[in-house]
C-alpha cells in the first residue's frame, strides 16, 4: 500500500505533523518525512530499537537525535500523525472506488485486516512469533479497521503475533451499525459474529 508515489510530499507531511502535534517548529534533528521513512525502514527490516530509528532518521536530517529524544516523540501525537498519513494514502490509493461508493447503498464501507510485523529475534521473549518450532522469532500483530469512503482509520490495535484472527472477530463487530458494509477475510468469520452483525 505504501508505494513511493502514494506517500504525501514532505510539505503535506509537515502539515499533518503540525496538525497532530508531532511537530511545533522546524528542527535540524527531526522532520516528518524522515520520521515516517525511518519507521517504514525499521518495520521492513525488523530493526525495532531506538538506536536503529535514530540511524534511519539520520539519513534524512542534518543532525542526529539521541535515543532518548526519539523515544519522547512516541505517544498520542505520533499515533495521530500516522493515522493522518494513512488517511491521505487511502484517499489517494482508492479515489475511483471511493467516489463510486459514496451515495450508494452503504453508509460506511469498513475494511478490516491484520498483519504480523517481524521484530529482531532478541524481542522473542516479550513478543513471541511463530517460529515453526525451529527457532525463537519475534513479532506483533497489527489490526486495522478503515472506513474506505472517507479514508479514515476507525481502529488500530496491537496484539500478540500468535493470536488468531478469529479471536479478534468481535473487535470490529462491536463498532458496526445499520447500513455498514464490513469487508474482511475468512479468518475473521464465525457464525456468532454474523448473527451479531445481523442484529444491528
CA angle 36–42–5, rounded 5-degree value: 45
Residue 147 has pLDDT above 60, yes or no: yes
pLDDT of residue 135: 79
Angular region, 141: left φ>0, alpha ψ -120 to 50, beta rest: beta
Residue 165 has pLDDT above 90, yes or no: no
pLDDT of residue 16: 94
pLDDT of residue 62: 82
pTM strictly above 0.75: no
DSSP-assigned states of every residue in 33-63: HHHHHHHHHHHHHT--SHHHHHHHHHTTSSS
Q: Stretch 114-132: mean pLDDT, rounded?
A: 84
Neighbours of 19 (CB within 10 A): 13
DSSP state of 81: H
Is the CB of residue 33 less than 8 Å from the CB of residue 13? Answer: yes
* Percentage above 90 pLDDT, the chain: 10
- Give bridge partners of residue 95 from the DSSP assignment: none
pLDDT of residue 176: 85
* Average pLDDT over all residues of the chain: 84
Instruction: For residue 60, give the nearest of 85, 42, 46, 78 by alpha carbon.
Output: 42
Q: How confident is the model at residue 14 (pLDDT cuts 50, 70, 90)?
A: very high
The C-alpha cell at 112 is 478490516
Q: What 3-state DSSP class applies to 117? A: strand
pLDDT of residue 13: 93
Please list, residue by residue across 30-59, b when 16 or more beta carbons sit within 10 angstroms of its beta carbon and e when fewer do: bbbbbbbbbbebbbeebbbebebbbebbee
More confident residue, 36 or 90: 36
Which of 59-68, 74-83, 117-126, 189-198 tops mean pLDDT?
74-83
Residues 92-113: tens digit of each pLDDT: 877 777 677 777 788 888 989 9
Please list, residue by residue across 84-114, b when 16 or more beta carbons sit within 10 angstroms of its beta carbon and e when fewer do: bbbbbbbbebbeeebeebeeeeeebbbbbeb
Q: How confident is the model at residue 1 (pLDDT cuts 50, 70, 90)?
A: very low
Residue 184 has pLDDT above 70, yes or no: yes
Q: Stretch 110-134: mean pLDDT, rounded?
A: 83
Is the CB of residue 38 less than 8 Å from the CB of residue 60? Answer: yes
Q: How confident is the model at residue 2 (pLDDT cuts 50, 70, 90)?
A: very low
Amino acid at each position: 500500500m505504501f508505494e513511493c508515489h502514494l506517500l504525501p510530499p514532505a510539505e503535506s507531511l509537515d502539515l499533518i505533523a503540525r496538525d497532530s502535534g508531532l511537530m511545533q517548529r522546524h528542527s535540524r534533528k527531526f522532520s516528518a518525512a524522515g520520521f515516517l521513512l525511518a519507521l517504514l525502514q525499521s518495520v521492513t527490516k525488523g530493526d525495532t530499537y531506538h538506536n536503529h530509528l535514530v540511524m534511519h532518521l539520520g539519513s534524512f536530517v542534518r543532525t542526529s537525535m539521541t535515543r532518548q529524544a526519539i523515544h519522547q516523540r512516541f505517544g498520542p501525537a505520533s499515533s495521530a500523525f500516522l493515522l493522518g498519513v494513512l488517511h491521505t494514502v487511502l484517499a489517494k490509493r482508492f479515489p475511483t472506488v471511493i467516489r463510486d461508493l459514496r451515495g450508494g447503498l452503504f453508509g460506511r464501507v469498513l475494511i478490516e485486516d491484520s498483519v504480523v510485523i517481524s521484530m529482531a529475534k532478541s524481542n522473542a521473549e516479550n513478543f513471541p512469533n511463530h517460529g515453526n518450532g525451529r527457532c525463537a522469532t519475534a513479532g506483533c500483530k497489527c489490526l486495522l479497521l478503515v472506513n474506505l469512503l472517507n479514508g479514515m482509520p476507525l481502529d488500530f490495535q496491537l496484539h500478540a503475533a500468535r493470536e488468531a484472527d478469529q479471536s479478534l472477530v468481535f473487535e470490529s463487530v462491536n463498532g458496526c451499525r445499520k447500513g455498514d458494509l464490513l469487508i474482511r477475510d475468512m479468518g475473521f468469520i464465525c457464525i456468532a459474529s454474523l448473527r451479531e452483525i445481523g442484529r444491528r
